[in-house]
């Protein structure tokens, strides 16, 4: 039986809060729940059971050994699930460059909200940019087809315009590091993540 | 140097402009310069990015055009062009030339370009080229990189010109990239139309 509590099962942009300490988990969840759908897990198996494509941000308490960050991050590769990760850490703890954000203990409400909001924006930007590319590709194919389809071209153009407006709004809320990381993060472990001038 | 193009309000107001021309060799900066100065204004700060070309030639082109006043900052990928460029470095006056290591990620390239943008000064970015970047990365990562860069250019109030060699891409690809830009300038012979 899973120990995960699934408050929202069909909504995306879920924050999965993985904290073993009951009081801390309750406080963090209460802070986040007013703005985002939240799931909670208090051990590793519950976290794994609850981690699916609906999860956008995973918040993990690394202060004890309950949660295995390596196994969690492996899910991104194994299952192709795209989510951002933030860790609760002691103020002077060493940072892990594989994580996308940190919240320091004792947890400040403002820092917690700001971190989750920032990571949500990264996820939204990444997903929306992928969708924009997909529709732009369809538009380019349709526009270049021998047999023209003006109504379809108009429909695609309007979808692109709407998406572009949303995409630009989200991008405007990201700093340069987050914008490039979010746009291209999925290529980090691939060959295309590195320049290879030998190809030129 | 060209000095009398009426590019119309669409280009005048654009933050990011696709510059489509047949292969111009080292001429992308000249084309960018033609566009950037078409209204008679001179930018205060120029950022050039070259994926496969020489940043020194790039900086020299802008220096020759703008004189000593504006700051010029050129960024290139460290690779085959560096030693040849160093051996024949022309006198280009004050310009910052930086190389990014070829083993660095494309995200790092983006951050380095963004760090050179200056919202306190009228800034022009000349990107040479989409064609070379696509050769390195493939189409989708190039597309995504360009949106992220374009958003940073727009956010700082700069104007970006992005050169693409239209002889090396089919119509579909040209249309695809055009969806990222506020305006597209097509040239037939290396001169903006």
* CA–CA–CA angle B27, B175, B184 (5° rounding): 50
**Cross-chain Cβ contact B151/A171 below 8 Å:** yes
Give the pLDDT confidence score for residue B41 in this predicted structure: 85
CA of A43 vs chain B CAs: smallest distance (Å): 34
- Predicted pLDDT of residue B8: 56
Distance to chain B for A153, nearest Cα, Å: 12
Residue A200 falls within a domain, yes or no? no
DSSP string of chain A, one letter each residue? ----EES-SS-SSEEEEE-SSHHHHHHHHHHHHTTS-EEEESSHHHHHHH-STTEEEEEEE-SSSSS-HHHHHHHHHHS----EEEEEEETTPPP-TTSSEEEEESPPHHHHHHHHHHHHHHHHHHHHHHHHHHHHHHHHHHHHSSS--HHHHHHHHHHHHHHHHHHHHHHHTS-HHHHHHHHHGGGTTSGGGB--GGG-
Shared domain check, A159 and A111: no
- Domain B16-85+92-186 maps to which CATH number in 3.40.50.720, 3.40.50.11570, 3.40.50.1860, 3.30.70.20? 3.40.50.11570
Under 8 Å between Cβ of B93 and B60: no
Interatomic CA distance for residues A168 and A139, integer angstroms: 19
- Whether residue A15 sits in one domain with residue A93: yes
B147 touches chain A (CB under 8 A): yes
Task: Tell me if A149 is assigned to some domain.
Answer: yes
Is pLDDT at B11 greater than 90 in this prediction?
no
Which pTM value belongs to this model? 0.86
> In Å, how far is A27's CA from the nearest CA of chain B?
36
Asked if residue A161 is part of any domain, the answer here is: yes
Token duo for residue A15: 């924050």
Q: What is residue A197's predicted lDDT score, i.e. its pLDDT?
A: 43
CATH number at residue A41: 3.40.50.2300
Which among A127, A160, A197 is the top mutation candidate for probing chain B, defined by the most B β-carbons within 10 Å of its own β-carbon? A197
Q: Is A13 in the same domain as A62?
A: yes
The predicted structure's pLDDT at residue A75: 74
Does position B12 have pLDDT exceeding 90, yes or no? no
Across residues B99-126, what is the average pLDDT?
A: 92
Name the domain count of chain A.
2
CA dist A72 and A48 (Å) reads 7
Note whether B148 contacts A143, CB cutoff 8 Å. no
Smallest Cα–Cα separation from A67: which of A95, A50, A46? A46
Q: pLDDT tens digits, residue range B53-74?
A: 889 989 999 998 888 889 999 9
Give the position of tokens 């429909």: A155
CB of A142 closer than 8 Å to CB of B179: no
The answer on A158 and A140 residing in a single domain is: yes
Distance CA A48, CA B110 (A): 34
| Mean pLDDT calculated for residue range B150-164 | 96
pLDDT of residue A95: 75
pLDDT, greater one: B147 or A75: B147
Structural domain including A145 reads 119-194
> Hey, how many other C-beta atoms are within 10 angstroms of the C-beta on A102?
17
- pLDDT average, residue stretch B123-139: 94
What sign does the CA torsion over A16, A20, A24, A30 have?
A: positive
| pLDDT tens-digit profile, chain A (200 residues) | 334 333 333 357 899 999 999 999 999 999 999 999 999 998 888 888 898 889 999 999 987 778 887 877 777 777 778 899 999 988 887 777 788 999 999 999 999 999 999 999 999 999 999 999 999 999 999 999 988 889 999 999 999 999 999 999 999 999 999 999 999 976 654 444 454 444 54
On whether both A53 and A75 belong to a single domain, the answer is: yes
Quick check: B157 contacting A, CB < 8 Å?
A: no
Residue that wins the pLDDT comparison between B92 and B98: B98
A22 with A79, same domain?
yes
Res B165 pLDDT > 90: yes
| Structural element, H or E, at residue B87 | helix B80-87
Tell me, yes or no, whether A100 lies in a domain. Answer: yes
Does one domain contain both A70 and A102? yes
Residues A16 and A114 in one domain: yes
**Single residue among A84, A118, A152 that ends a domain in this structure:** A118
The confidence score (pLDDT) of residue A17 equals 96
Compute how many other C-beta atoms are within 10 angstroms of the C-beta atom of residue A97: 5
Pair A109, A144 in one domain: no
User: A156 — contact with chain B (CB < 8 Å)?
Assistant: no
Q: What is the pLDDT of residue B4?
A: 41
**Sign of the dihedral through C-alpha B125, B81, B65, B184:** negative
Query: For chains A and B, what is the number of CB pairs under 8 angstroms?
Result: 121
Predicted local confidence at residue A4, as pLDDT: 39
CB contact under 8 A, B151 and A174: yes
What are the residue ranges spanned by the domains of chain B? 16-85+92-186
The yes-or-no verdict on residue B191 having pLDDT over 70 is no
Do residue A13 and residue A107 come from a single domain? Answer: yes
Question: Is residue A20 domain-resident?
Answer: yes
**CB < 8 Å from A in window 13-52 of B:** 51-52
DSSP letter (8 states) at residue B90: P
Per the domain annotation, does A93 fall within a domain? yes
- A87 plus A113 within the same structural domain: yes
Let me know if residue A199 belongs to a domain: no
Test A194 with B114 for CB contact under 8 angstroms.
no
A137 plus A178 within the same structural domain = yes
What does the pLDDT look like over B15-54, one tens digit per residue?
Answer: 999 999 988 777 889 999 999 998 888 899 999 999 998 8
Question: Of the candidates A61, A87, A118, which is a domain's last residue?
Answer: A118
Q: In chain A, what is the greatest distance between 2 CA atoms, to the nearest angstrom?
A: 64
CB of B115 within 8 A of CB of A176?
yes
Q: What is the pLDDT of residue B84?
A: 45
Domain membership flag for residue A163: yes
Ramachandran angles phi, psi of A65, nearest 5°: -95, 20
């Amino acid at each position: 039986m899973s120990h995960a509590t699934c408050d929202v099962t069909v909504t995306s942009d879920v924050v999965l809060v993985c904290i073993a300490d009951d009081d801390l988990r309750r406080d963090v969840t209460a802070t986040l729940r007013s703005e985002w759908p939240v799931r909670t897990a208090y051990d590793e198996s519950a976290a794994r059971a609850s981690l699916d494509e609906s999860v956008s941000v995973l918040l993990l308490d690394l202060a004890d050994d309950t949660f295995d960050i390596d196994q969690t991050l492996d899910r991104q590769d194994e299952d192709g699930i795209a989510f951002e990760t933030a860790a609760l850490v002691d103020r002077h703890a060493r940072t892990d460059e594989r994580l996308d954000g940190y919240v320091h203990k004792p947890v400040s409400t403002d820092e917690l909200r700001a971190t989750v909001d920032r990571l949500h924006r990264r996820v939204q930007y990444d997903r929306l940019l992928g969708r924009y590319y997909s529709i732009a590709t369809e538009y380019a194919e349709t526009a270049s087809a021998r047999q023209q389809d003006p109504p379809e071209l108009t429909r695609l153009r309007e979808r692109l315009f709407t998406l572009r407006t949303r995409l630009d709004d989200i991008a405007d809320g990201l700093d340069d590091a987050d914008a490039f990381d979010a746009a291209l993060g999925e290529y980090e472990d691939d060959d295309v993540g590195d320049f290879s001038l030998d190809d030129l | 140097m060209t000095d009398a193009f009426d590019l119309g309000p669409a280009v005048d107001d654009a933050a990011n402009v696709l510059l489509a021309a047949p292969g111009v060799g080292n001429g992308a900066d000249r084309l960018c310069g033609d566009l950037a100065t078409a209204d008679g204004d001179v930018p205060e700060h120029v950022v050039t990015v070259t994926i496969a070309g020489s940043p020194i030639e790039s900086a020299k082109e802008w220096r020759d055009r703008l004189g000593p006043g504006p700051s010029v900052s050129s960024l290139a990928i460290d690779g085959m062009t560096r030693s040849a460029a160093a051996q024949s470095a022309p006198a280009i006056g004050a310009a910052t030339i930086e190389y990014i290591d070829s083993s660095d990620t494309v995200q790092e390239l983006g951050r380095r370009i963004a760090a050179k943008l200056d919202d306190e000064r009228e800034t022009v970015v000349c990107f040479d080229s989409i064609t070379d970047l696509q050769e390195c990365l493939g189409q989708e990562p190039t597309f995504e990189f360009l949106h992220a860069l374009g958003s940073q250019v727009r956010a700082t109030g700069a104007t970006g010109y992005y050169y693409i060699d239209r002889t090396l891409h089919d119509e579909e690809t040209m249309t695809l990239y055009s969806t990222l830009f506020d305006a597209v300038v097509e040239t037939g012979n290396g001169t903006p139309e």
